Structure formats: structure tokens, C-alpha cells
Amino acid sequence: MKTEHCSNCRVSELSEEAPVIPNIKKGSKVLFLLDYPTIEDCDTGRVATGLSKRYAVLHNLMEDTGFDPVIVSYATTIRCITRSKSTLTYPDYEYCSKLILKDLERSEIRAVLCFGSMAARVLTGRGIERIDKLRGEIYDTCIDGITCAVTYALSILTEDSCLGCGKNVYPHLVRKDMKMFKADLHKKRIIE
């Protein structure tokens, strides 16, 4: 559903479908923030509800690291699906992400795992050159009371990613980041 915010957005003019809304569950304290929605999300209009390769990889990683899907919410930094991600600029992400930042302020979310540089940049307010420089740490975000960790984008973990040479390396590194993030959640008693 397009909002008044969308009427001033350049991306909504490029969009193939109606914007996809976050999947923030009542009582959820943990959010996985992705860079963009998949075309499969359009069937339900909610993030991470479609059957896509990216979400299959994510659910396998969650199973491997013991994340209960019931406690995790999902959102994207940009809500529209465009023909090509290459048409998007940081100002596009920044404009659209104001909506997710408002959603987070009103939610019970206390910790976010950012998948990809755009998600990390939006939430931390830092310019991101390389994900490698931010991995393995917990950061404050631009929202009081919410911390985050950073890992690679899900798109590089699928079989058809352009980074096929790292096919086995990236899933291992994301798994490691998810375990570190989960340990911090336990330490802070965000999850049991």
C-alpha cells in the first residue's frame, strides 16, 4: 500500500508493484533488516513471506544457528520492488528507510541484524565501504535502545549470486555473525 511518504519518492515511480510492508511481530525483540524485498513478497505484501532463494537460505541459516523464526521480525530498508537494483541510490534508500526507522521507534525491537551495507548504513548512520570492517561487533544505532550487528547481504549467499567463488565462505561467515549476534542477545537477556 502506497503512503503519502511514497508520493514524494522517486523509487515508487520505478516500482513494479505496491510497496511491501515490514513483518514486525507483536512482542518481537529481534529484527533481521534486509536491503530490499523480493518479488515473491508481493504475493502477501509483507517482507520475508514469499518463497524465494534468499529466504530459503536465511531460514537454513536460522535453523543452523538456533534462531527461532517465531521471535524474529523482518524488514527491508526500501519497500518497493524495481526492475533493477542498480537504479537505486543511497538517497533512495535513505528516503524510504525513514519509514522503517519510525516503525522501529514504535516497536519492541531491541536488536537488529543488518544484512548488507545499505541496511547497516541506514541503521548506524555510518558510511560503509566494506562489510568486513564492521562484522563481529555490536553497534549502537540511530535509535536509542536498539543495537545492531552487521553481516553480508543475503543476495551473495544464493547459488546464482555473482560472487559464486565465495559460495562456501560467505555462508560460513554469516553463520558466524549470526552466532555472535545471538550470544549478545542472550547476554543482554533480549532472548532466553
pLDDT at 14: 64
**CATH of residue 36:** 3.40.470.10
* Residue 171 included in any domain: yes
Q: Evaluate whether 48 touches 96 at the Cβ level (below 8 Å).
A: no
* Residue 174 included in any domain: yes
pLDDT < 50: residue spans in the chain = 164
* Residue 58 included in any domain: yes
* Residue 72 included in any domain: yes
| The three three-digit cell numbers of residue 17, written as one number | 508493484
User: Which distant-in-sequence residues (6+ apart) come within 8 Å of 84 by Cβ?
Assistant: none
pLDDT at 15: 67
Number of domains making up the chain: 1
* Residue 157 included in any domain: yes
* Residue 76 included in any domain: yes
30: β partners: 72, 111
Report yes or no on whether pTM surpasses 0.75.
yes
* Residue 39 included in any domain: yes
Q: Evaluate whether 100 touches 22 at the Cβ level (below 8 Å).
A: yes
* Residue 192 included in any domain: no
pLDDT at 12: 65
Domain containing 131: what range?
4-187
Cα separation, 92 vs 17, whole angstroms: 17
